[in-house]
Chain A
Amino acid sequence: MSTEELKAKLLPPLGKTHKMRYKPEKGHIQIENVSVDFGGDVFAVNDAFLEIMPGEFVCLLGPSGCGKSTLMNTVAGFVNPTYGSVKVDGMVIDKPGQDRGMVFQQHSLFPWKTVCDNVAFGPLMDGKGIDSARSTARSLLEMVGLSAYEKRFPGVLSGGMKQRVGIARALANYPSVLLMDEPFGALDAQTRAMMQENLLQIWEEFGITVIFVTHDIDEAVFLADRVVVMSASPGRLIADIKITLPRPRLAEVVTSEDYIKAKKQCMDLIRLESMRAFEQQRTTA
């Protein structure tokens, strides 16, 4: 049975997908036959091909060390592909840019800048005056519910709050793509659930393309339009699964039958694809 046939069998037909308020035009990502060689035994990313449409929310799912961060970093412009190319809206990526916002796993707010000035940093670098940069920052802080902390230093914030500021900062240049590398990995379950819900609201409001790296299947299924699965070691993309759960998704959705079904289909497909990848590896080796 081919993968296509299998997918058709496992997954419900499209049609229930959520309608955006407006159709985003920017944030079209084309990852074309990208391989990344760090000089190790195997490629960190191996011949990845992925096209992401404007406004899509894609979760990159895979076990630790499989090359998720590396693949995302090629889109961010921190890592240049050894082979292949990454294009965003038709432009080949070779360095970081304001069109792509980053949210990191570790706390990456500048500890020496106030919360407000952290968020204002992007607009400031964009050539805006400090006053206009700060007023942009304030409106974004209001959106993430942290206006009260604008004058404080990041050190006093909790982990969840730091990540909310991190998201606000990444959005302050109104990028067309938001890249998030396990942003909620260090948070407790409760905060995490709340952050996921908030993130979806923000995503819908901004109509922005999101690549979200995670190794948590629950998180991936809850958030994504598509879950792209990466296999261990040789850094290959092995599955691309559409999640058709209705939007807006609230935390309650994880108890719904649809969600459980989607997750199960996802797990089945991952297991199947992992086995196929493993089989392929064995026969080629």
Chain B
Amino acid sequence: MSKQSSAVISKVDGLTKDGTPVIEAGEKQATTSSEVVKPLRPVKSRVASRPWDRYLVRTLSIIGAVVIWYLCSVNHVSFIVSFENVPDPLVVGDQFLFLLGTEEFYKHIGVSIGRILISFGIASVLGVAVGILMGRSRIVADVIMPHIEILRPIPAVAWIPLAILMLPTEESSIIFITALGAFFPVVLSTLHGVEQSSEVYVRAARSLGAGKMAILRHVVLPGALPNIMSGLAIGMGVAWFSLLAGEIISGQYGIGYFTWNAYSLVEYENIVIGMLTIGGLGTTSTWLVKQASKPALRWQESER
């Protein structure tokens, strides 16, 4: 006889081994022992429970790198890597403070952020839409996949001549190059997310009366959301480094233009500032994308 019935036998007997009556215990135990609910938040690991430690380490790591940079520069270290002409952090810092006092610098940043927003917007919408279509239809996937595979390895800089030839304005060429870079990680992550979506959810939805569109909205899309969101975060990073390439074309503004311009004028401080500004803006915007996706992914916390 199965365990189930032996469990019931002890209940009917009204006694457990140690002789305590268990008339009600059958139900009680079921709700306390086997129906245990996981804690609201999973017990956090030691490291994660002290996030400030980790931020401290990260901050110290940055400070350490700057100190090494400083020492190498002022001592004109030249061993494999040459720091002979690299401006030291203090000089760069001075120049940065100076730039922060000019309107021009903000204009560069503002124009670039504007381009990122437009490009990233286009790449996100197209990437998610195409990724879902590819995931749901084999023919669409077969039509589009070869193009993605061939085009994806082409670096953004290589697109410059064609972009200028094919698109009406400089601005649209820059947007195109930036958006193209961000598009690939978004479309591939979305596709991956959709392909992963479990058939059992689709079946459950169908038996509850959901049509194709409802399944897309209530099952496929939310199921792929974790992948989509990580695709968007990666896409945001790629957008910034594509932007640098695209802004070669730009005649006047943009943090990429600023960097290229400094390069042709041999302004070492400005080159470093341009690079670090792009790094900083890229990091910040990627962080913002991740933060923005958190509320939509709250359900995942309970999954582990």
Contact = CB atoms under 8 A, between A and B. Distances in A.
Contacts of A194: 26-27, 30
B111 interface: no
A112 to B, nearest CB: 4
A179 to B, nearest CB: 8
Contact of B299 (A153, A188, A196, A218): A153
Interface in B196-245: 200-201, 203-211, 214, 218-219, 222-223, 225
Q: Which of B12, B26, B209, B303 has the most CB of A within 10 A?
A: B209
Nearest to A157: B37
B80 interface: no
A97 interface: yes
Contact of A255 (B9, B26, B207, B300): B9
Interface string A242-256: 000000000110110
Contacts, number: 142
Interface in B257-304: 298-304
Contacts of B205: 110, 121, 125
Interface in A127-157: 149, 152-157
Given A122-B208, A216-B2, A251 B30 contact: no
B1 A190 contact: no
Contacts of B95: none
Nearest to A179: B207
A112 B197 CA distance: 12
A96 B206 contact: yes
A150 to B, nearest CB: 14
A100 B207 CA distance: 7
A268 interface: no
Contacts of B201: 108, 110
B33 interface: yes
A78 to B, nearest CB: 6
A76 B207 CA distance: 8
A159 B171 CA distance: 56
A106 to B, nearest CB: 6
A53 interface: no
A108 B26 CA distance: 28
A26 to B, nearest CB: 17
B7 A190 contact: yes
A98 B40 CA distance: 34
Contact of A252 (B8, B218, B225): B8
A158 interface: yes
A158 B35 contact: yes
Contacts of B38: 155-158
Most buried by A among B38, B203, B207: B207
Contacts of A12: none
Contact of A102 (B3, B26, B30, B203): B203
B204 A104 contact: yes
B2 A218 contact: yes
Contacts of B75: none
11 contacts: A101-B208, A111-B300, A121-B205, A122-B208, A152-B302, A155-B300, A170-B208, A172-B208, A190-B33, A251-B26, A252-B11
Interface of A: 76-78, 95-98, 100-102, 104, 106, 108-113, 121-122, 125-126, 149, 152-158, 160-161, 169-170, 172-173, 187-194, 196, 216, 218-219, 251-252, 254-255
Interface of B: 1-5, 7-9, 11-12, 26-27, 29-30, 33-38, 40, 200-201, 203-211, 214, 218-219, 222-223, 225, 298-304
Given A96-B206, A98-B207, A111-B303, 10 more contacts: A97-B209, A102-B204, A109-B204, A110-B201, A121-B205, A156-B38, A158-B34, A190-B26, A193-B30, A251-B8
Q: Which 9 A-B residue pairs are closest in the complex by CB-CB distance?
A: A155-B302, A189-B3, A125-B209, A112-B222, A122-B208, A254-B5, A98-B209, A96-B207, A155-B303
